[in-house]
Chain A
Amino acid sequence: MTDASVPQNVAPPPAEVPDVDLYHAHSWITKYVFSQDAKVIAIQYAGTAIAVGILALVLSWVIRLQLAFPGAIPFIDANVYYQSVTMHGMIMVVYMLTAIFLGGFGNYLIPLMVGARDMVFPYVNMLSYWVYLIATLVLVSSYFFPGGPTGAGWTLYPPQSILTGTPGHEYGIILMLVSLILFIVGFTMGGLNYVVTVLQARTRGMTLMRMPLTVWGIFSAAVMALLAFPGLFVACLMLLLDRTLGTSFFMPSLVELGERKDYVGGSPILFQHLFWFFGHPEVYIVALPAFGIVSDLISVHARKNIFGYRMMVWAIIAIGVLSMVVWGHHMYISGMDPWFGFFFAVTTLAIAVPTALKVYNWVLTLWHADIHFTTPMLFALGFLVTFVNGGITGLYLGNVIVDVPLSATLFVVAHFHMVMGIAPVLVIFGAIYHWYPKITGRMMDERLGKIHFWITFLGAYAIFFPMHYLGVLGMPRRFYEMGETAFVPASAATLNIVITVIALAVGFAQSIFFYNLFKSLKYGAPAGGNPWRAASLEWQTPETPPGHGNWGKHLPVVYRWPYAYSVPGAPEDYLPQNAPPVRGEHSP
């Protein structure tokens, strides 16, 4: 690959594929509702994901209120509490984070960043969104069925999830499983588009090793999702059959309320394996796009090329591969052969190597850089801190003997909220502040953005950092109320109240963001085409916001990587990817 005889920055070879025959919308409905334009689909995806994310945010308040003031709020009984825990978890992980990173940012950024006119199959892409929307509606509709949504916990472990003692066992669990199956079908259509667009529809000169890390992150996440979601698909289908037809895939013989059930001889552990075969890669399906986006934010706002680009790419790939073989670390306390525990602990800890490499590279990018403390940069830095924090507790929990006592406590809640809750959400905010000018043509308000950042970042820390302490004290997670628990001191209750008050405040403070989002649509300062003076291709479109087909008459031609900042001899401190080569330039 690094063949020295190949001259750098020569004009790329001619186009291998003729320009595409675009579908042109004729009416308002085909342009904005049943749209086949990836940019519109992206906004539909992101809008739906954010809407359902707000629902999940409100549900987290229900959880926090119960934990702080047990029994004091009349409408929160044990059923409502468990339903809130379940829906909060499932919505946030699958319907919000996965959908917004891949469906939202993936759809918007991939064609623009690789220099394509659209996704390769726009019609399938459109179907993907509508199936996702139906899946979301099916899930939310469970609130309107007798018994309400399922309260099985987001992991849906059988046998408990389909027994009559669990809230929502009548319809909630069925709707949840159907919704997940629909989500996977919809996602597969989108995911195939993202992967094939990256592999086959790049513009001239856009080699794989010249793609922005954002594209690398989303691409790897989409590949992983295509391989991991089958596990969830099969698990959901089999659990659905257990619930509706009375098969016994996961259900052992058991007695419930003095009555012997008809189930016989199934394996509950099998479900856990299938679920976590999806569930662990899912963490990285959310994290890899965040890694990629953060790399670009840091590079642009620090005016410096990303440190160790090649290693960053290989680290993403290594993390993706390794994360497919670590699922067992979620099941240490389910009981497993010690050798399996050993294997899964080793693979889990091995992931720390490429991950730490990425963190070092981000920090080294910032080293001696011209750092601009813009709102996107602040969010990127916030991500670095929370991610390192959550990653280090991940090293604790990856070890079997440390995990066993901590697994059922708030320590785990603190860990995964830091690493795959707060960290990716900070990236989402940063990315919205960063790309909003390209999407709308206007800047978001910087002052409101900074207020939003400090409240969100410090608030999130104040919420989740004390939870580590509560977890080490032994405070269990998922308990509706503690009752008389000798080993948890009374001061823990005070701490819980503090956490809840902050959680409510930080939740409400998000309205600053939404106010900014909508206000800037009309009153934001005009952004121009490239307000951040960024080098990557999406900022070089002839129109802002980019028109249908993205590139006007001719597709761009790429001459260098997307990180040509502070290039000696260049007229400005950055060189766009599609600017003709400069004499004496050594960009890859």
Chain B
Amino acid sequence: MTAEPVTTEHVTTETTLRSSLLGMVSDWSSDQRSFKSASWGKAMMWIFLVSDTFVFSCFLISYMTVRMSTTVEWPHPSEIFALEIGGKKIPLILIAIMTFDLITSSGTMAMAVNFAYARERRKAAILMLVTAFFGAAFVGMQAFEWTKLIHEGVRPWGNPFGAAQFGSSFFMITGFHGFHVSIGVIFLLIVARAVWRGDYDVGRRGFFTSRKGRYEIVEIMGLYWHFVDLVWVFIFAFFYLW
């Protein structure tokens, strides 16, 4: 009884795989565009993100290399990144909140993209502002975390808890990621303003670029924002949980 549907399903997946591969080949060997559904801006953002992935991979691999090659013991993340709340030390509580905050912001960003395409300008702009707020809150919590660690004596060149590379890697990687989030917040505010004013409906030209924008920019912004979130998941896993 159960054998037959399974086989059919198997066959259908195979044909879709085959047909999608053929579709890919015919797209790539056709004229004008290799990615038929992607605009120039979207293709550019995707390719930039691939390049940026290599940057973050180099950072993380370098961090893992120094962590493994150093002879001094690595500080224990769950003790270092603990907050005292009500007289009790709770490990990784701030990081958990930060991660939750950033992933929530991905949700609001996705909703903003949806509303932007539906031309509901106010809702889209407000959701982008909410996203920017979550991003700014993330950077703020990161600043708090940095301050706390600096007060405890952690410096880029050394710390009282163990290997000197702990502070170096921590400040460099979270700093570089925080920089990405900050850039994202700035651009979110700019795009939110443009959406709110309806710049993309009336075809108002950009101040620097003297070009008209399109609602698609919200989605491209979203791609960047989701990428920054995804990178955080890896930093979270490799730096805080290891």
Interface residues of A (CB under 8 A from B): 1, 12-13, 15-17, 21, 23, 120-121, 123, 188, 191-193, 195-196, 199-210, 226-227, 229-231, 233-235, 237-238, 241, 245-249, 262, 264-267, 270, 274, 277, 558
Contacts and interface: CB of A to CB of B under 8 A. Distances in A.
A210 B72 CA distance: 58
B34 A199 contact: yes
Contact of A249 (B36, B57, B66): B66
Contacts of A267: 65-66, 69
Given A200-B38, A200-B40, A202-B31, A270 B165 contact: no
Contacts of B161: none
A317 B49 CA distance: 21
Contact of A230 (B39, B47, B55, B209): B55
Contacts of A191: 51
B40 A188 contact: no
A143 B62 CA distance: 32
A123 B51 contact: no
A246 B157 contact: yes
A249 B40 contact: no
B25 interface: yes
**Interface SS of chain B: helix, strand, loop or mixed?**
helix
Interface residues of B, number: 50
Contacts, number: 148
B47 A246 contact: no
Given A245-B156, A262-B157, A17 B33 contact: yes
A264 B164 contact: yes
Given A123-B208, A248-B165, A238 B172 contact: yes
A17 B59 CA distance: 39
B211 interface: yes
Contacts of A12: 31
B11 interface: no
B71 interface: yes
B212 interface: yes
6 contacts: A121-B41, A193-B44, A200-B40, A206-B31, A207-B29, A246-B156
Interface string B168-206: 110010001000000000000000000000000000000
B54 interface: yes
Nearest to A15: B32
B156 A247 contact: yes
Contacts of A13: 31
Contact of B54 (A16, A204, A227, A262): A227
A262 B157 CA distance: 8
A579 B95 CA distance: 63
Given A208-B29, A241-B156, A277-B58, 6 more contacts: A192-B44, A206-B31, A230-B55, A237-B172, A266-B66, A266-B165
Interface of B: 25-26, 28-36, 38-41, 43-44, 47-48, 50-52, 54-55, 57-59, 62, 65-66, 69-72, 156-158, 163-165, 167-169, 172, 176, 208-212
Given A192-B48, A265-B70, A241 B29 contact: no
Contact of B165 (A199, A203, A265): A265
Contact of B32 (A195, A202, A274): A202
A245 B171 CA distance: 11
Contacts of B40: 120-121, 196, 200-201
Given A199-B33, A202-B32, A248 B168 contact: yes
Contact of B71 (A202, A229, A265, A558): A265
Given A202-B32, A203-B31, A274 B62 contact: yes
Contact of B44 (A121, A227, A277): A121
Contacts of A202: 31-33
A196 B165 contact: no
